[in-house]
Amino acid sequence: MGESGRGGVAGWLIDSMAAAVAGGAAGWCALVLLGPLQAAITGSAVLAIAMLGLRAVKPEPRRYPLPVFELPGWEAEPEVLELTELEPLVLQDALPAPDPDSRVVQLFARQPLPTAGELKARIDAHLEGQPHRQPTPAAGGEVVSLPVDASAALRNAIADLRRSLA
């Protein structure tokens, strides 16, 4: 790129593409309205006029010339970082266990995965169109409480709070 701010080959390519779009659009319109011979003549004429017009526009000189700078010298081989003392990485859970009496809703608490028998009972109940029933201890199963989604209760509590503040 020279002082004019316009690249040699890149500038010609950009101007040529813009002129080709204008010539193609004019040629298409002439093809639809006049015919193929007039479309070729119109498209070529608009292409030439657009190219001459775009190349005639000279860019403004640079207002803020970029200073010339040199990259600092780089060493051929980087220094090798040697660790003389290894320390074990200790991972700790940042959040303490929640208080069982806490009124905070735990939306994303980890729930135990259901067993294969529980999954089968849920699927069978769903296929039969019945609500899921917990196995009873008399039937040989263990009573397992299903996790309750507390997001609806949280939304209701927030809505009540907004109503009380309004």
Reference 107, options 68, 56, 157; nearest CA is 157
Q: Give the mean model confidence (pLDDT) for residues 95-120.
A: 72
pLDDT of residue 25: 95
Cβ atoms of 22 and 30 closer than 8 Å: no
Is the pTM higher than 0.85?
A: no
Least confident range from 8-12, 58-62, 98-102, 154-158: namely 98-102
pLDDT of residue 4: 45
- Identify the three-state secondary structure at position 17: helix
pLDDT tens sequence across 33-81: 999 999 999 999 999 999 999 888 887 777 887 788 777 776 656 566 6
Q: Give the mean model confidence (pLDDT) for residues 92-119.
A: 70
Integer Cα distance of 46 and 25 in angstroms? 9
pLDDT of residue 157: 84
Q: Which two tokens stand for residue 154?
A: 């949280």
Integer Cα distance of 83 and 115 in angstroms? 47
Q: What is the mean pLDDT of the chain?
A: 76
**pLDDT higher than threshold 80 for residue 159:** yes
pLDDT of residue 128: 86
Q: Residue 145 contacts by C-beta under 8 Å, 6 or more apart in sequence?
A: 134
Highest mean pLDDT out of 12-16, 39-43, 60-64, 100-104:
39-43
Amino acid at 74: W
